[in-house]
Structure 1
Amino acid sequence: MELKKNIFIFFLVVPLLFLVPLFHEGIRTAIAARNQDSSESWGYVEVRPKAHMFWWYYRSSYRVEDPNKPWPIILWLQGGPGASGVGSGNFQEIGPLDTNLKPRNSTWLRKADLLFVDNPVGAGYSFVEDNKLFVKTDVEAATDLTTLLIEIFNRNQSLQQSPLYIVAESYGGKFAVTLALSAHKAIQSGKLKLKLGGVALGDSWISPEDFVFSWGPLLKDMSRIDWNALQKSNSVAKKIKQQIDAGQFEAATDSWSELEAIISNYSNSVDFYNFLLDSGMDPLSLTSSELSKSIGMKRYSRYLQSSRINPGGDDDLDNLMNGVIRKKLKIIPQNISWGGQSDSVFSVLKGDFMKPRIDEVDELLAKGVNVTVYNGQLDLICATKGTEAWVGKLKWEGLKTFLNIERNPIYCGGDKVTKAFTKSYKNLHFYWILGAGHFVPVDQPCVALDMVASITQSPAISKK
């Protein structure tokens, strides 16, 4: 009854929507809708013929006009590949409303405007009319995203005044670094009119090799697996490295699945997104039965379709997105369901899944782009141990100094308990978030919000 009441209020307070055809440029079209108070807008961009990408933009009510510190915009990229930023990142992590359509006190709108995108095409509400049009590489995904940014930003001078920060989670980190390079190039050539503020990589799948080598030792140290399991884990990790070195990336993806099955079996189904838990204990994680069928990030491409608190109930994200939200948006084609193509997105990217993107991070740093890396202490799938390993492989000229400087503790909300550590040198910044698993904004919302304010240099003054 409470949810039904909230849904009624939601529709009562949301103004009537109207469809606006923004433009028709060659074969690309964009259709958008917005609230009458301009606080939200959303739409489709046909990034390639018959390939349609959905976006949703929120203008913050906390916006502070400061000529010395322009109000920032955060572009949130979800992982998977195949998970929905519009659904998952928005309603389950950082957007203005939670899955019960109640206000989220820790929304990142307190520090920035938010732009959610269902990326790549096929994720969330995004779709392709022909299965041949799914992207096969991170670079192809970046090209589509750059096209979307051109269509959104080039026609809006107001948006062009705000620096754009690309913030990603999990596999979204690979999309983020390839997008940042593509966007940087488009900006330099005059094709894209925006200010690139920086990139933030949250628990990001930048170097699969380093992560698979981290799982066994980490779980052994945590007493979650024994010596025998560690030997089995290390053996498969070595095989994965050999396959990656030989360019056998699809085979490496299959071996990655094999390794996760070993980890799951010998740890009694550890939660890959919080190693202190069993699978299914974390509302944003996987159920153990699903994990045994198809593990890890392949399921991540669908893991947030349900909050897993009460699958099939009123708190089911899939029901929310294909029900009340779909009705609100009004522009989703009748034959398209939210998340209906997400599995295909993962499958087609199988050959790119295990490819590292360390070189892209190096290139961004060399170009002077601000790069922030943050990691939850309790994450396994993208463990901090693995993240530190790939950061140590950077060829960036400032790395030695960065590694040698001391970390600073972070407190939050007047609490003198250590919540995180951070250190920075030039344009590289790192945050170690304590007590958080894979989903940092959910597990440590106060620290995450303060971190975002620092990353974006937001002039925001939080409202009580």
Structure 2
Amino acid sequence: MEKVPILVLVSVLLLVPTATAARTQDGSEDWGYVEVRPKAHMFWWLYRSPNKVKDPSKPWPIILWLQGGPGASGVGIGNFEEVGPLDTNLKPRNSTWLQKADLLFVDNPVGTGFSFVEDNALFVKNDVEAATDLTTLLKELFNRNESLQKSPLFIVAESYGGKFAATLGLSAIKAIEEGTLKLRLGGVALGDSWISPEDFVLSWGPLLKDVSRIDDDGLEKSNSVAQLIKQQIKDGKLEDATNSWSRLENLISAGSNHVDFYNFLLDSGMELVSVSVTTTEISPKKFTFTRYTRYLNSLRQSSLAPGGNGDLDTLLNGVIKRKLKIIPNNVTWGMQSDNVFEAMTGDFMRPRIDEVDQLLAKGVNVTIYNGQVDLICATKGTEAWIEKLKWDGLQQFLKKSRTPLYCGSDRRTRGFTRSYKNLHFYWILGAGHFVPVDQPCIALNMVADITQSPAAASAPHTST
């Protein structure tokens, strides 16, 4: 029998008509299912920080982590690969965000990770439907728990999760205003987020040409397909735009000798991404999910301890499933993830700039952060969509000087930040798509700033 850190026997198993929940004996972790719609079950996992500071002037924050894909698991990837308390070897993570906040991981949309649907017609088709399900989950968790209601909730997203965060932010605000959700929304953070697909695909060619990864011919071909995608989005032909996006990714892979879309300083080194989807039976819509997981796998494999368990599928479907105890026997972690992506094809290329604008107009703190060497959600594209905001503080924000970022006493520049009113931007140097993986120290400092965590009183990490 495996000996796993912090895994203890379940002491509480609560069965109610729409929810199943369990917790550890010491109360440090809770997890469970919420039936967000009949036969649609969403899995969540809440970690309570051992570093929690009781400060009435600064309530202890909760971070809701939303993964991308769509179809990538926050309970798996965000938790064990990026910011949770344990890594994939079940060893303590020194840079866990649990130091600064409680962490709530959700497998969203339904069908992702341990979440599942009993009928394939129940997969969500767009970001708004996903936000509605998430709001239902938050009502179930927060409305009956006065302790949770005292903590501000910060929605922190990565990649496609940024689109979910923007729509969830608005859905949550509406529910709060209507009195149906008892929750304090602290803010929304969009990490390397797929907010405006048009601006990202238009950035790929020029960026790769500037860093010598493609030549003039590659730039011309890239720009041609990117302009086609722009027109398809404008015409509302979003499924066509998704197919063109897949074609553009493969064109760039061929022209760049397989650049890694999650760190343009690296090669992907994967045969699958170098094969034209027009000559295979592989669905182009599955390519992004494959790339998304393989980049993290390559990072993990380079740092596995001898004898360690680095296989995320094995970990989640083995030790973790046995710990959780409430996962149905016929549910395998990630078994419906491809279906989730497939169902959202028609919304994948839809921009969510307007939703970010609405959050800003309502006074919500919006933080945007981007890794310097990310390609899929390149900083160049992020800056382009920010300039499209109609928010009345935009021009003042763009004129503000940036502040350099450091880690502790190390005076090497790790990034820059700029803020004006409720809009904040972090440029994270040396990081690709997965900022907490590539730059864990600066990411932890950043999240302390975002949440204003009472535990954030450490060595100075910014300079004016």
TM-score (norm 2): 0.93
Per the alignment, residue 272 of structure 2 pairs with 289
Q: Say which of 78, 99, 104 aligns to 2:67.
A: 78
Q: Say which of 290, 300, 307 aligns to 1:299.
A: 290
Matches within 5 A, 1:126-141: 126-141=115-130
Aligned residues: 447
In 1, the alpha carbon distance for the partners of 2:336 and 2:123 equals 10
Per the alignment, residue 393 of structure 1 pairs with 388
Q: Say which of 5, 15, 23 aligns to 2:8.
A: 15
Per-residue deviation, 1:395:
0.2
Alignment deviations for residues 321-366 of structure 1 (CA, whole Å, 9 cap, x no partner)? 1111011001111111000000000001000000000000000000
Q: Say which of 137, 145, 167 aligns to 1:156.
A: 145
Where structure 2 has 5 or more consecutive residues not aligned to the other structure, the ranges are 276-281, 460-464
Moved over 4 A (4+): 293-296, 300-308, 310-313, 461-464
2:388 aligned with 1:405: no
Q: 1:304 to 1:23 in 2, by over 3 A?
A: farther
Per the alignment, residue 144 of structure 1 pairs with 133
2:365–2:423: 8 Å Cα contact kept in structure 1?
Answer: yes
Q: CA RMSD in A?
A: 1.9
2:172 aligned with 1:183: yes
Q: Say which of 100, 104, 107 aligns to 2:93.
A: 104
Q: 1:305 to 1:322 in 2, by over 3 A?
A: farther
In 2, the alpha carbon distance for the partners of 1:167 and 1:193 equals 19
Q: Say which of 414, 419, 444 aligns to 1:449.
A: 444
2:428 aligned with 1:433: yes
Matches within 5 A, 1:50-449: 50-280=39-269, 287-290=270-273, 292=275, 294=284, 297-300=288-291, 302-303=293-294, 306=297, 309=301, 314-449=309-444
Q: 1:342 to 1:303 in 2, by over 3 A?
A: farther
Q: 1:76 to 1:348 in 2, by over 3 A?
A: same
Letter in 1 for 2:64: L
Alignment deviations for residues 56-81 of structure 1 (CA, whole Å, 9 cap, x no partner)? 00000010010000000000000000
In 2, the alpha carbon distance for the partners of 1:376 and 1:305 equals 15
After superposing the two structures, state which structure 1 stretch, 312-321 or 190-199, moved more. Answer: 312-321
Letter in 2 for 1:122: G
Q: 1:300 to 1:38 in 2, by over 3 A?
A: farther
Letter in 1 for 2:13: V
Where structure 1 has 5 or more consecutive residues not aligned to the other structure, the ranges are 281-286
In 1, the alpha carbon distance for the partners of 2:31 and 2:295 equals 21
Per-residue deviation, 1:462:
7.4
Q: 1:437 to 1:448 in 2, by over 3 A?
A: same
Q: 1:272 to 1:214 in 2, by over 3 A?
A: same
Letter in 2 for 1:203: D
Alignment deviations for residues 134-190 of structure 1 (CA, whole Å, 9 cap, x no partner)? 000100000000000000000100000000000000000000000000000000110
Letter in 2 for 1:368: G
Q: SS of the residue aligned with 2:301?
A: coil
Per-residue deviation, 1:463:
9.4
